[in-house]
Structure 1
């Protein structure tokens, strides 16, 4: 819940930096609040930066005042939508069943589903992280549709609010890859991109993005400033060269 119209200047600044020094090929996406989607599309027109949304309703239309369908987001210019973000799960009590339905809605509208999973701090303290994440992957990822639309699917592993060690990230991402393999087959699971999200910033991006089975990052607060986001992108490009 950040960003007014004035924040589009940061998006324009990011585009200008990438136009001046695009560097190695890297997929880049920004997911502004829905109020900025149409204007962000205009700002990014002709650039390699993709546009995503932060949430959607499971149904395509209906009497659900205040909600936005995946089709509405696509119409506004989004090509992807985040579902199951930890703040949605915690603040709004969203279940795996609801996240599963939202992911299906994304596929229905032709959007990439960025399916988020993550334990709470209490789960982490109690040593339940791996059990919770296994259950969330199994409950949130639409198995049948993921087989058909695997190229549109990414899974984000976010921690407990604490920044984990690279070893912990490797353990969690290895588990996710394994569970997806059991659900979809090793080939489909291997092709999926697993994104790490959780306090990614310029200072720690290199060590987190170099971890096995980490195929990118879902950046939070550091994405609000073009300079910080570009620095993370630069680190990512360097670690993958």
Structure 2
């Protein structure tokens, strides 16, 4: 059972040079991702007079996030594993592929990266709003809750299949683009309903900078449940448990 492989780790990890380098990589990867993703939405709004909630705006959001995540995962892969998402880190943790202490470092770095990206955007755009995620008209919190669980499950399942599974072979070379593609596809599916976050860090930065917290819990609880389920399901059914646990430096 994957839960039996969960490792807390040692407090010394919080100051270990390799762990700190990995956390720094997560900070920059998340900053790159959020700056491009959130910034593209702000640019689209500026060019169309707040027309991001249109079919064209949805396609633009899907493409920008897919491209940015592809790059963000790629540049962090060799250092931290390129999580760029607390839900991915949590999924890796429940599957026994990262320790609790290292995971906490990643979370802190990811949240800081998102916040700094939004502060930079606000300054660079002359004070434009970094819009927090919100529910569309007619969408309840429970609708959004299910959306976030299912979409994040698909994301973290993809991460496991292409980046974590030791049997991945040459498939690992396309992991970043596969991860970017599933996020772009999920935005096309769920963006019109709840914004399709799938990433608590992506939701946290804009909410903090704009100080808008309505229904914010959905964008934490949903992705963490979806990511955790994906980690458990993939480890339980598809990974051969005769292999040695992946070193924390690999993922």
* TM-score (normalised: structure 1): 0.33
Structure with a larger share of its residues in helix? 2
* TM-score (normalised: structure 2): 0.32
Structure with a larger share of its residues in strand? 1
